[in-house]
Amino acid sequence: EDQVTQSPEALRLQEGESSSLNCSYTVSGLRGLFWYRQDPGKGPEFLFTLYSAGEEKEKERLKATLTKKESFLHITAPKPEDSATYLCAVQGAGSEKLVFGKGTKLTVNP
């Protein structure tokens, strides 16, 4: 059974304090690993898709990396507007479904 574990559950940072969120996964044949951002009361917003170990993608202050067992979402010099819950999901080979982790709630204080 495909599984995703995200850590920490919650993270508080000061503005400008860089950090990383972790997503550990087990999947039978990785078809894709996805990162989403979700604001309270809204649907998830797509950030990145990673397909193979060693792949990296960047968008503004966010950088996602992937190994065979985990993915990291690095946040460089975060701003208060980066506060949100960040969700990680995997799609296994031959499956249409995404399996989500429980998310990391990030709070960036000014």
Partner 1 sequence: GAVVSQHPSWVICKSGTSVKIECRSLDFQATTMFWYRQFPKQSLMLMATSNEGSKATYEQGVEKDKFLINHASLTLSTLTVTSAHPEDSSFYICSARGLTSGSTTDTQYFGPGTRLTVL
Binding site for partner 1 (CB under 8 A): 32, 34, 36, 41-46, 49, 87, 96-98, 100-103
Q: Which one, 65 or 91, has the nearer CB to partner 1?
A: 91
Residue 26 to residues 3, 18, 30, 55, 61, Cα–Cα distance (Å) = 5, 27, 9, 18, 27
Distance CA 82, CA 65 (A): 18
Distance CA 20, CA 86 (A): 11
Q: Which one, 92 or 103, has the nearer CB to partner 1?
A: 103
Report, in Å, the least distance between residue 45 CB and partner 1.
7
Report, in Å, the least distance between residue 50 CB and partner 1.
10
